[in-house]
Amino acid sequence: MATTTTRSFLQVAATEEAAPPLRVVQIEGLVILKIIKHCKDHSPSLVTGQLLGLDVGSVLEVTNCFPFPTREEDEEIEADGANYQLEMMRCLREVNVDNNTVGWYQSTLLGSFQTVELIETFMNYQENIRRCVCIIYDPSRSDQGVLALKALKLSDSFMELYRSNNFTGEKLREKNLSWVDIFEEIPIKVSNSALISAFMTELEPDTPVTQCDYDRLQLSTSSLMERNTEFLIECMDDLSLEQQKFQFYYRSLSRQQAQQQAWLQKRRAENMARKAAGEEPLPEEDPSNPVFKPLPEPSRLESFLITNQISNYCNQINGVSGQSFNRLYLMKALHED
């Protein structure tokens, strides 16, 4: 009987380890409204908050959230933030509300969220939570009639490489990791109870046109295009600086290899002379010689993030310009009629 119990326990443990991959992030409509209100009230300042819910199989359910308070620069942010978070979760537990942390949300400006700080936050959450997500909300894009909401997580291959802190070209080729493999976007599914759905049906106006539909017909997108282009130019400048670092590294490496060859030729000629004189030859490698000290290769993480950000800005410019052309052609057709 004891053997059967042990085997079943091991089977359960193995089942827990082999959890299914995360497929969907299911968010309640009230949580989305809280996130939108918090981000829009403090826009253009960037804010963050905690996501609470349950991890059920391949679905991550987000049932509640609460905002982190904004602080001044001279306050002790980390200590105060941790105490505030613990106090909020204790209060939620007392009123029988889900208090399991499943990630966090944050606002962004025109999709400029792919930074090293975001990755470090992900890794800190991963130390205590097996699976967590970050909900990104962009108020500036939502003003154009689009719900700019996405759920992100780090890929498993990237997290494994980040823990080793080895982003050299050789290691990236070995892992077959590129800049598109850093983040994974998880589909979002909005869920509402039957009572809320019925209430929203009663609130629907008689007219089929809403304010959001009018927002989509705005012809003026020059400010949005201009800001996207400015951010894109800044990213291109940053990428150029990163490329200069690698160019300097390869020039230094080529110079060091030339010095090593010159030193080896000199040492071999000296050994030939010593051998002719009947003396012991000297070793051809001298670790104490600075010529043989390996040069540290710059990390490619920053260039990967900048490339990711450039791709994001290009996609946004492509989407905004495509929608603008559609609206302009629509207005042209209406005027002709």
Q: Identify whether residues 198 and 278 lie together within a single domain.
A: no
Tell me which residue of 132, 120, 125 sits closest to 165, measured CA to CA: 120
**What pLDDT score was predicted for residue 9?**
41
> Does any domain span residue 142?
yes
Tell me which residue of 191, 156, 138, 180 sits closest to 22, measured CA to CA: 156
Q: Identify whether residues 320 and 184 lie together within a single domain.
A: no
> Does any domain span residue 4?
no
**What pLDDT score was predicted for residue 7?**
46
Domain boundary among 202, 218, 247: 202
Q: Where are the beta strands (DSSP E) in 149-240?
A: 149-154, 183-186, 188-191
CB 184 within 8 A of CB 154: yes
Report the share of the chain in percent with pLDDT over 90: 8
Q: Identify whether residues 30 and 81 lie together within a single domain.
A: yes
Give the range of the structural domain holding residue 93, as residue numbers without chain letter: 19-202
How far are the Cα atoms of 150, 204, 235, 244, 263 from residue 113, in angstroms, in the given order?
11, 35, 13, 24, 49
Tell me which residue of 69, 29, 24, 71 sits closest to 49, measured CA to CA: 69
**What pLDDT score was predicted for residue 4?**
43
- Number of domains observed in the structure of the chain: 2
Domain of 39, CATH number, reads 3.40.140.10
> Does any domain span residue 298?
yes
CB 153 within 8 A of CB 165: no
Q: Identify whether residues 115 and 158 lie together within a single domain.
A: yes
**What pLDDT score was predicted for residue 73?**
54
> Does any domain span residue 227?
no
Q: Identify whether residues 137 and 186 lie together within a single domain.
A: yes
**What pLDDT score was predicted for residue 3?**
43
**What pLDDT score was predicted for residue 18?**
57
> Does any domain span residue 130?
yes
**What pLDDT score was predicted for residue 17?**
53
**What pLDDT score was predicted for residue 324?**
75
Low-confidence ranges of the chain (pLDDT < 50): 1-16, 74
